[in-house]
Amino acid sequence: MKEINLKGTGLKVSPSEKKGINLIKKSDKNILGIGISTGGFAEVQMSLKNKNEKIIATTIDKKGLTDTKKYLKGSV
């Protein structure tokens, strides 16, 4: 799995994010993330783990949304 480089972002992967990402099975096709944290880091990592998953993530944090878009473009 491709890792997202968080160096210089001030973000850290929480133990619960790591654990949650590792619990996802290849057979899990739909994931709903409510109130994404760290700019959607966990959700982006989930999408990199299995390209066949459909991930819906919600947030009301504009900075988090901006950060997520950067992760998806590979600019972070």
What residue spans define the domains of the chain?
15-20+27-73
The predicted model scores a pTM of 0.57
- pLDDT (tens, 9 = 90+) of the chain, 76 residues, equals 455 666 666 666 778 878 888 888 888 888 887 877 666 777 777 777 777 888 888 888 888 788 777 777 764 4
C-beta contacts of 71-75 below 8 A and 24+ residues apart: 71/4, 71/39, 71/40, 71/41, 71/44, 72/44
Which helix (H) or strand (E) is 66 found in, with range?
helix 62-73
